[in-house]
Amino acid sequence: MNEFKDSSVQELLKQQSTNKKDPDSAEKALTIIAKVTLWFGILCSFALLIIAGVKEEESLLLIMLCVLLTSITTWALLSVISNISITLKSIDRKIS
């Protein structure tokens, strides 16, 4: 009974893994989100820098710096997670 259960589970897992068109699609999406976050943060920081120069407010410069650092940190974190996932999947493919 256990042998039948184990083989059917293995067949189901094999079918699920072969049904996926692109095994790295989640990582690609995560990379795109990371890049969009970085560019959006840079764009917002630049806009805040221009507004701070026009209004001569120092608090906007601090906000600009926080937005820029947050977007860079988010981009780096998402990129690292994506790269780790891709590496683990490639190791799993080599082992299997």
Give me the phi and psi of 24, to 5 degrees please: -105, 20
pLDDT at 11: 63
Q: Are 82 and 59 in contact (CB under 8 A)?
A: no
On whether the pTM is more than 0.85, the answer is: no
Give the max Cα distance, the chain: 77
Distance CA 53, CA 80 (A): 35
Helix or strand or coil: residue 20?
Answer: coil
Sign of CA dihedral 82, 22, 19, 96: negative
Between 31 and 18, residue with greater pLDDT: 31
Task: Render pLDDT for 36-89 as a digit per residue (tens, 0 to 9).
Answer: 999 999 999 999 989 888 888 888 889 999 999 999 999 999 999 999 999 998
pLDDT at 2: 47
